[in-house]
């Protein structure tokens, strides 16, 4: 047996004796010295583990709060974007309404509901417009519609606060017209393109290119006196009537804001003007 082996055995034997003695000797608290030793050895790692657990919990709570804040920030950013979009729409509506009002101030007195153009189906000659939340419930089919420059068309369908408008340029559309001096009557019909054809005008009529045509009121839909079109060409035909082409004074391809006019209020306004 080597001296090293003997030393280790002696050291082990001494440790066993010490442990045995510590297991028998009790301190002031009544616990054995061995228990105190074990407590001293175990307390630091247990404390370290508890701190790690608390730290991990705090980190998890922090990550949860960060996710909540990020989600709230995204929600607020989306609300701000929506508000900005709504503000831009309101500014566009206001500008378009002011422009339309400025262009219509020289027309006969009328009362109407403003609406904003949402969609144009130029192929079918239709416009979709949206009225405000305070729009009256009296808006119905065949309500005349004015835009910048004059008559745009008439309402053909109402869907809540939205209305479909048949443009004067639609192939099925027609409006009774008269020259501004009241000397010549005719019927303006849509062609499906950008112009109108004026029918039932005699060869004896005195017309010139550039002459204005306004509503006559004979169709029972459009009140009299509103601009419709300007004559751009006049040709003789083999029949009893002239071949006349006119361009609408209100362009449905660029219109932004329109007015849905009340025929009854307009008639009363015209009566007040005459009195």
CA distance linking residue 127 with residue 97, whole number of Å: 17
CA distance linking residue 128 with residue 167, whole number of Å: 10
Per the model's pLDDT, the better-predicted residue between 192 and 97 turns out to be 192
Per the model's pLDDT, the better-predicted residue between 19 and 149 turns out to be 149
Lowest mean pLDDT among 48-57, 94-103, 127-136, 257-266: 94-103
pLDDT at residue 37, rounded to an integer: 65
Contacts of 135 (CB under 8 A, 6+ apart): 113, 115, 161
Contacts of 269 (CB under 8 A, 6+ apart): 108, 109, 110, 111
Please determine, for residue 225, whether its predicted confidence score (pLDDT) is greater than 50: yes
Cβ-based neighbour number of residue 227 at 10 Å: 22
Delimit the domains of the chain by residue range: 1-105, 112-274
Residue 166 region, left (φ>0) first, then alpha (ψ -120 to 50), else beta?
beta
The answer to whether 166 and 159 are in contact (CB under 8 A) is: no
Q: How confident is the model at residue 107 (pLDDT cuts 50, 70, 90)?
A: low
Q: How confident is the model at residue 157 (pLDDT cuts 50, 70, 90)?
A: very high
Strand intervals (E) in the chain: 112-121, 126-131, 144-147, 150-159, 162-167, 174-179, 185-190, 196-199, 212-215, 227-235, 243-248, 257-261
pLDDT at residue 51, rounded to an integer: 85
Per the model's pLDDT, the better-predicted residue between 273 and 105 turns out to be 105
What's the fold here for domain 112-274?
A: Thrombin, subunit H (2.40.10)
DSSP for 191-246, written as a single string: -SSS-EEEES-BTT----TT-EEEE-STTSSSPTT-EEEEEEEEE--SSSB-EEEE
Element (H, E) at 78: helix 33-104
pTM: 0.60
Contacts of 118 (CB under 8 A, 6+ apart): 128, 129, 130, 162
Task: Give backbone dihedrals phi and psi of 32, rounded to 5 degrees, phi first.
Answer: -70, 155
Task: Give backbone dihedrals phi and psi of 196, rounded to 5 degrees, phi first.
Answer: -120, 155
- Name which of 81, 79, 136 is nearest 113 in CA terms: 136
Q: How confident is the model at residue 268 (pLDDT cuts 50, 70, 90)?
A: very low
What's the average model confidence in pLDDT over 16-41?
69
- Name which of 263, 274, 262 is nearest 131 in CA terms: 262
Cα torsion through 141, 144, 147, 149, rounded to 10: 150
- Name which of 202, 210, 172 is nearest 184 in CA terms: 202
The answer to whether 240 and 77 are in contact (CB under 8 A) is: no
Q: How confident is the model at residue 274 (pLDDT cuts 50, 70, 90)?
A: very low
CA distance linking residue 192 with residue 243, whole number of Å: 17
The answer to whether 110 and 261 are in contact (CB under 8 A) is: yes
């Amino acid at each position: 047996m080597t001296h090293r082996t003997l030393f280790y055995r002696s050291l082990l034997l001494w440790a066993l004796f010490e442990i045995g003695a510590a297991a028998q000797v009790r301190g002031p608290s009544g616990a054995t010295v061995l228990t105190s030793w074990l407590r001293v050895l175990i307390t630091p790692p247990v404390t370290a583990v508890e701190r790690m657990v608390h730290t991990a919990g705090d980190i998890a709570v922090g990550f949860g709060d960060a996710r909540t804040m990020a989600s709230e920030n995204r929600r607020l950013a989306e609300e701000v974007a929506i508000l900005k979009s709504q503000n831009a729409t309101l500014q566009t509506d206001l500008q378009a309404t002011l422009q339309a009002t400025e262009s219509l101030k020289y027309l006969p007195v009328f009362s109407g509901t403003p609406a904003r153009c949402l969609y144009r189906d130029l192929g079918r000659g239709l416009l979709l417009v949206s009225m405000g939340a305070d729009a009256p419930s009296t808006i119905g089919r065949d309500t005349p519609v004015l835009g910048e420059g004059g008559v745009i068309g008439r309402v053909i369908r109402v869907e809540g606060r939205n209305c479909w408008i048949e443009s004067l340029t639609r192939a099925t559309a027609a409006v009774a017209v008269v020259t501004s001096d009241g000397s010549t009557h005719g019927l303006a019909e849509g062609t499906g393109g950008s112009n109108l054809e004026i029918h039932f005008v005699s060869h004896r009529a005195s017309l010139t290119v550039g002459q204005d045509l306004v509503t006559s009121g004979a169709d029972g839909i459009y009140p009299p006196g509103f601009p419709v079109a300007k004559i751009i060409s006049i040709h003789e035909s083999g029949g009893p009537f002239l071949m006349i082409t006119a361009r609408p004074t209100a362009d449905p391809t660029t219109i932004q804001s329109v007015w849905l006019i009340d025929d009854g209020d307009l008639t009363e306004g015209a009566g007040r003007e005459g009195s």
